[in-house]
Chain A
Amino acid sequence: MPAFPKKWLAVLLVLAVVIPLLQPVLPDIVSNYRLFLVSTMIIASIAVLGLNLLTGFNGQISLGHGAFYAVGAYTAAILMDRLNVPYWATLPAAAIVCFIVGYLFGLPALKLEGHYLALATFALALAVPQILKYKWLEDLTGGVQGIVLLKPEAPFGLPLSEDQWLYYFCLVVMVFLYWGAANMLNSRSGRAMMAIRDQPMAASTMGIDLALYKTVTFGISAAYTGIAGALSASAIAFVAPDSFTIFLSIKFLIGLVVGGVGSLAGSVVGGIFYVLVDNSAQALSQFVRNDLGVPFDLSAYTVFGVLLVALMYLMPMGIVGGVYLAVRRLRSQR
């Protein structure tokens, strides 16, 4: 897939920086709630990017990335709650912890492929809320109640609201992480990752250390998703075991599949998409009930489920991949 045109990327970035500053002028359009929503989309797209690095670019299927998200979120929350670490410093800490956890989980995963790896990670995702409630960890994790945190405030007396500042903070982290991922994928290591996905045997014949690359990719992928988790802990200012169920991992999978497996731009689209559906579920349900007159509580997961199945038929490459194919087809017709 070709790189996203640099010109458009620059325009998008400028817009992303300028629009929130218009809040005093257009308070209705650029509301604090919307800024917060966009921040959660940014966090989602980082988490989906993490999953994409592993599943999309390295071919290791994970249904349990919610676990690494949870580890990241809890690392951040415990550091802030217990040690009064500033919120920005929790991100590298979460990245390191998640890298180690991901690397360790990557070791047994080496022996597994396809369905079996999916099964092991699925089991991990199911067990996460219980592990977080484990009695010995209760002092740290706060058990079922979770941990309540403070929302970050703008530093240096900048005249920004909490939500504006959170948005910029997330945006900077996201740009940095995507830049890092793009560079990594464009390097020797990135090509090795993709070679392992496409032809593991040929890759190892070419001298690529499969075990090393696979475990390190697992670690990096977990670190990305963990950073997203840490960001979400700051953004929502609350963590609790029951927000990290199997359905969180399913949301990441939705983001991956809708955006496009093995596509950086797709990860952004996927992240935005699942937050959007999640947040408009109530409106959707009301629309079905009142306007279509169907007595059925349409939930976000019904939409997700139907989409997952339907996309596998219509656009196995995701929306970004589908659009790209369509554009190429149109061009070649001219």
Chain B
Amino acid sequence: MEQFLQQLASGLANGAIYAALALALVMIYVSTDHINFAQGEMAMFSTYISWQLMSWGADFWVAFVAAVAFSFVMGVTIERVILRPLHSAPVLSIIVVFIGLLAIFNSVAGAIWSYLIKSFPSPFPKSDFGIAGVIGAHQLGVVLVTLVVLGLLFVFFRFTPLGLAMRAAAQNPQMARLVGVRVDWMLALGWGLAASVGAVAGIMVAHIVYLDPNMMGGILLYAFASALVGGISSPGGAVAGGFIVGVLENMVAYAGNQIEKATGVYIIGNGEKLTVALIIVIVVLTVKPAGLFGRVVVKRV
């Protein structure tokens, strides 16, 4: 039972990270209809920035805020410089550009910081508290930080004029432009915010998976799965999807473990996590493309 609760807690912690990255993907998808394949590598790059600042002696939270701010600028710059001119390019071109960005971030991070795996500090105290032994301090901290960030985003989008303008620009760009919203800049801001949220996910997960240029590959896949489960057009759905997928991932591995213990037959374990994500992605895309909370798109034929 205790092991089950531990798995549940670790699933929730992972879920928080998937939720954040999935939200970043959804923010870009909602406003531009693009799936950002470079989101994970951008988050990885931001995580390296915070690591660099810490190795220069900065406090964890100072480095955290600086890296998030850096990511915001990075996101806005990428949108303005690289994606804006490709505004009306075909889908393939956009995807190719994203893959290009992925390769650039990955290789540049490898060139600057090497491909050696680095340990990453946790800002949370070592001792276990709460339900002792079930949830680690870092896991609890990850969930809290993510929830705070998501809460701030919700407040921003729901209660500020700028948030309203951004939602308007995403929902109906033409009408928004008519009432004086600068749609182009709203898209760039959306990119910046997405990159920041991604950075939070990267910095939070680095303590768990360790820091290396390929660390986000699997996590990005899980974020895709989360976004799809929740409905890729629904921000709230992405968050819910993140937690669902995070728990599901650990439960599948846990069930596989129990089966192996009981019957001695190995079916599924930690080694198959990415395969589980692949199956989730394909099943959701083919069976229910709108996800749990997404808008069903009806195509006129």
Q: How far is the CA of A305 from the CA of B101 in the complex (A)?
A: 6
For residue A302, CB closer than 8 A to chain B, the reply is yes
Within 8 A of B (CB), among A236-277: 246-247, 250, 253, 257, 261
Q: How far is the CA of A63 from the CA of B102 in the complex (A)?
A: 13
Within 8 A of A (CB), among B91-112: 91-93, 95-97, 99-108, 110-112
**Chain A residues near B278 (CB, 8 Å)?**
123-124, 126-127
If A120-B282, A305-B102, A306-B100 touch, whether A136 touches B111 (CB-CB below 8 Å) is no
Chain A 107-123 near chain B by CB (<8 Å), digits 1 or 0: 01001101110111011
For residue B132, CB closer than 8 A to chain A, the reply is no
**Chain A residues near B110 (CB, 8 Å)?**
297, 299
Please report the total number of A residues contacting B with Cβ < 8 Å. Answer: 47
If A114-B91, A115-B91 touch, whether A305 touches B103 (CB-CB below 8 Å) is yes
Q: How far is the CA of A257 from the CA of B289 in the complex (A)?
A: 29
**Chain B residues near A33 (CB, 8 Å)?**
none
Q: How far is the CA of A260 from the CA of B93 in the complex (A)?
A: 12
For residue A309, CB closer than 8 A to chain B, the reply is yes
For residue A37, CB closer than 8 A to chain B, the reply is no
Chain B 237-269 near chain A by CB (<8 Å), digits 1 or 0: 000000000000000000000000000001001
CB atoms of B275 and A127 under 8 A apart: yes
Task: For B34, give the chain A residue with the smallest CB separation.
Answer: A115
For residue B128, CB closer than 8 A to chain A, the reply is no
What's the minimum C-beta distance from A308 to chain B, rounded to whole angstroms?
3
CB atoms of A111 and B285 under 8 A apart: yes
For residue A101, CB closer than 8 A to chain B, the reply is no
Question: Of A63, A123, A134, which is within 8 A of B281 by CB?
Answer: A123
CB atoms of B271 and A133 under 8 A apart: yes
Q: How far is the CA of A203 from the CA of B103 in the complex (A)?
A: 36
**Chain A residues near B99 (CB, 8 Å)?**
63, 250, 253, 308
For residue B149, CB closer than 8 A to chain A, the reply is no
CB atoms of A118 and B95 under 8 A apart: yes
Within 8 A of B (CB), among A181-202: 201
CB atoms of B111 and A297 under 8 A apart: yes
The A interface, classified by DSSP as helix, strand, loop or mixed, is helix
If A63-B99, A115-B33, A119-B281 touch, whether A305 touches B104 (CB-CB below 8 Å) is yes
For residue A130, CB closer than 8 A to chain B, the reply is yes
CB atoms of A296 and B100 under 8 A apart: no
Chain A 125-155 near chain B by CB (<8 Å), digits 1 or 0: 0110011011110000000000000000000
For residue A313, CB closer than 8 A to chain B, the reply is yes
CB atoms of A61 and B95 under 8 A apart: yes
Q: How far is the CA of A126 from the CA of B96 in the complex (A)?
A: 17
Chain A 87-112 near chain B by CB (<8 Å), digits 1 or 0: 00000000000000000000010011
**Chain B residues near A133 (CB, 8 Å)?**
271
**Chain B residues near A114 (CB, 8 Å)?**
91
CB atoms of A306 and B274 under 8 A apart: no
**Chain B residues near A261 (CB, 8 Å)?**
92
**Chain B residues near A312 (CB, 8 Å)?**
86, 89, 93, 96-97, 100
If A124-B278, A302-B111 touch, whether A112 touches B89 (CB-CB below 8 Å) is no
**Chain B residues near A309 (CB, 8 Å)?**
82, 97, 100-101, 104
Please report the total number of B residues contacting A with Cβ < 8 Å. Answer: 49
**Chain B residues near A301 (CB, 8 Å)?**
103-104, 106-107
CB atoms of A316 and B275 under 8 A apart: no
Task: For A113, give the chain B residue with the smallest CB separation.
Answer: B91
**Chain A residues near B104 (CB, 8 Å)?**
301-302, 305-306, 309
If A115-B95, A261-B92 touch, whether A304 touches B224 (CB-CB below 8 Å) is no
What's the minimum C-beta distance from A256 to chain B, rounded to whole angstroms?
9
CB atoms of A302 and B96 under 8 A apart: no
What's the minimum C-beta distance from B79 to chain A, rounded to whole angstroms?
13
For residue B143, CB closer than 8 A to chain A, the reply is no
Task: For B90, give the chain A residue with the smallest CB separation.
Answer: A316
Chain B 267-293 near chain A by CB (<8 Å), digits 1 or 0: 001011111011001100110010000
For residue A171, CB closer than 8 A to chain B, the reply is no
What's the minimum C-beta distance from B63 to chain A, rounded to whole angstroms?
23
**Chain A residues near B272 (CB, 8 Å)?**
130, 134
For residue A307, CB closer than 8 A to chain B, the reply is yes
Q: How far is the CA of A134 from the CA of B107 in the complex (A)?
A: 28
Question: Of A127, A297, A304, which is within 8 A of B277 by CB?
Answer: A127
For residue A298, CB closer than 8 A to chain B, the reply is yes
CB atoms of B89 and A108 under 8 A apart: no
CB atoms of A123 and B282 under 8 A apart: yes
For residue B195, CB closer than 8 A to chain A, the reply is no
What's the minimum C-beta distance from A131 to chain B, rounded to whole angstroms?
6
Question: Of B35, B96, B220, which is within 8 A of A253 by CB?
Answer: B96
What's the minimum C-beta distance from A35 to chain B, rounded to whole angstroms?
29
What's the minimum C-beta distance from A200 to chain B, rounded to whole angstroms?
11
For residue A55, CB closer than 8 A to chain B, the reply is yes
What's the minimum C-beta distance from A111 to chain B, rounded to whole angstroms?
5
For residue B301, CB closer than 8 A to chain A, the reply is yes
State the B residues within 8 Å of A (CB): 33-35, 37, 82, 85-86, 89, 91-93, 95-97, 99-108, 110-112, 217-218, 220-221, 224-225, 228, 266, 269, 271-275, 277-278, 281-282, 285-286, 289, 301
User: Known contacts A127-B274, A301-B104; can you find 13 more A-B pairs with CB under 8 A?
Assistant: A120-B282, A127-B275, A133-B271, A134-B271, A299-B107, A301-B103, A305-B102, A305-B107, A308-B103, A309-B82, A312-B86, A313-B85, A316-B89
Give 24 A-B contacts (CB < 8 Å), ordered by A residue.
Answer: A63-B37, A112-B289, A116-B285, A119-B224, A119-B228, A120-B281, A124-B278, A126-B274, A126-B277, A130-B273, A131-B275, A133-B271, A247-B103, A257-B96, A302-B104, A302-B108, A305-B103, A308-B97, A309-B82, A309-B97, A309-B100, A312-B93, A312-B100, A313-B86
